[in-house]
Amino acid sequence: MPESDFRASAVAGSGHPTSSMSAADIIAVLLDGYLTVDFQRPDDPRNDHLIFSKGHASPLYYAMLKAAGSITDGEFLTYRTFGSRLEGHPTPRIPPTDVATGSLGQGLPIGVGVALTGKKLDQLPYRVGVLCGDSEMAEGSMWEAFQYVAWAHLDNLTAIVDVNRLGQTRQTMFGWDLDGYATPTRAFGWHPIIVGTPPASTPKPSPLRRGNYSVSSPLPPHRDPADYWAGEPRW
Ligand SMILES: Cc1ncc(C[n+]2csc(CCOP(=O)(O)OP(=O)(O)O)c2C)c(N)n1
Ligand SMILES: [Mg+2]
């Protein structure tokens, strides 16, 4: 899947390959045994739901669909071309996508609605997983969602926060401080589980990097070059 992420972004000449890379392991594990979705029957009401609240990680989302056999490699490489179902951010045009995401702060609240529907209205056993960005956690709507989930006892919803330290242009407020996310979710009544540990050192920019932030284009002096791993769309 990581290789696919980069192929799609390279062919399109745009996208968020690094945002996809940071969550690739998470999605691989989910796909390998935790996500119960019949990708050949996307309308099956028993299917689990996976919502990419960080919808800009669409190369990863489509790499997952390719790995699951939902789309061919040929269609995968139509990423972000006119007429393609594989838009820069996922939409319901490509099953089993429930909702269009990409406007940060919306995917988790929508996931709450899907979880509420499953548990209270339709009384179906499906689970809802929502992949959130760490910078996205600065959106107030995320915390409204956390509060509501605990209040409504929506134990069929799991929020996964991909802490990669970066937002679009620089380090997030909490950086590698994982408790910065765990502590408030616990206060809201959640049961946060921290998986993994931050890297011992921050990786340096790669020579693969191009665009406005390349070596030929000096960085603003107050910025750490390593922060420009974030939101690098120009491949
Ligand atoms: C409401 C909203 N504001 C701004 C953006 C532009 N934007 C796209 S990606 C991004 C940074 C996201 O960082 P994070 O949530 O940490 O995700 P990552 O790329 O690190 O996985 C921003 C601000 C957006 N998509 N939606
Ligand atoms: Mg991030």
More confident residue, 30 or 199: 30
Q: Tell me whether residue 123 is exposed, middle or buried, using C-beta atoms within 10 angstroms of its C-beta: 0 to 12, 13 to 18, 19 or more.
A: exposed
79-133 pLDDT per residue, tens? 999 999 999 999 999 999 999 999 999 999 999 999 999 999 999 999 999 999 9
The response to whether residue 102 sits with its C-beta less than 6 Å from ligand 1 reads yes
pLDDT reading at 42 higher than 90 = yes
Beta strands 128-133 and 157-162 are parallel
The amino acid sitting at 50 is L
C-alpha–C-alpha distance, residues 16 and 98, integer Å: 21
pLDDT attached to residue 203: 60
Average pLDDT over residues 199-221: 50
pLDDT attached to residue 234: 38
Ligand nearest to the CA of residue 135, numbered in listed order: 1
The response to whether residue 20 sits with its C-beta less than 6 Å from ligand 1 reads no
pTM of this structure: 0.90
Closest Cα to residue 41, out of 90, 91, 96, 92? 96
- Contact criterion met (CB below 8 Å) for 156 and 128: yes
The alpha carbon of 89 and the centre of ligand 1 are apart by a number of angstroms equal to: 12
C-alpha–C-alpha distance, residues 11 and 209, integer Å: 15
Question: What value does the mean pLDDT of the chain take?
Answer: 88
170-192 pLDDT per residue, tens? 899 999 999 999 999 999 999 99
pLDDT attached to residue 151: 98
pLDDT reading at 196 higher than 60 = yes
The response to whether residue 104 sits with its C-beta less than 6 Å from ligand 1 reads yes
C-alpha–C-alpha distance, residues 158 and 152, integer Å: 14
pLDDT attached to residue 229: 52
Local confidence band at 8 (pLDDT 50, 70, 90 cut-offs): confident
* Residues forming a β-bridge with 128: 49, 157
More confident residue, 221 or 38: 38
pLDDT attached to residue 224: 62
Local confidence band at 226 (pLDDT 50, 70, 90 cut-offs): low
More confident residue, 198 or 121: 121
Q: Tell me whether residue 197 is exposed, middle or buried, using C-beta atoms within 10 angstroms of its C-beta: 0 to 12, 13 to 18, 19 or more.
A: exposed
Q: What percent of the chain has pLDDT over 70?
A: 86
Please name the residues in contact with 208: beta carbons below 8 A apart, sequence gap of 6 or more.
Answer: 235
pLDDT attached to residue 232: 52
pLDDT attached to residue 15: 83
Residue ranges of domains in the chain, CATH in brackets? 2-229 (3.40.50.970)
pLDDT attached to residue 163: 96
Phi, psi at residue 192, to the nearest 5°?
-75, 140
Pocket test for ligand 1, best of 25, 136, 165 (most atoms within 8 A of CB): 136
pLDDT attached to residue 235: 33
Structure tokens at 66: 């390719």
The response to whether residue 171 sits with its C-beta less than 6 Å from ligand 1 reads no
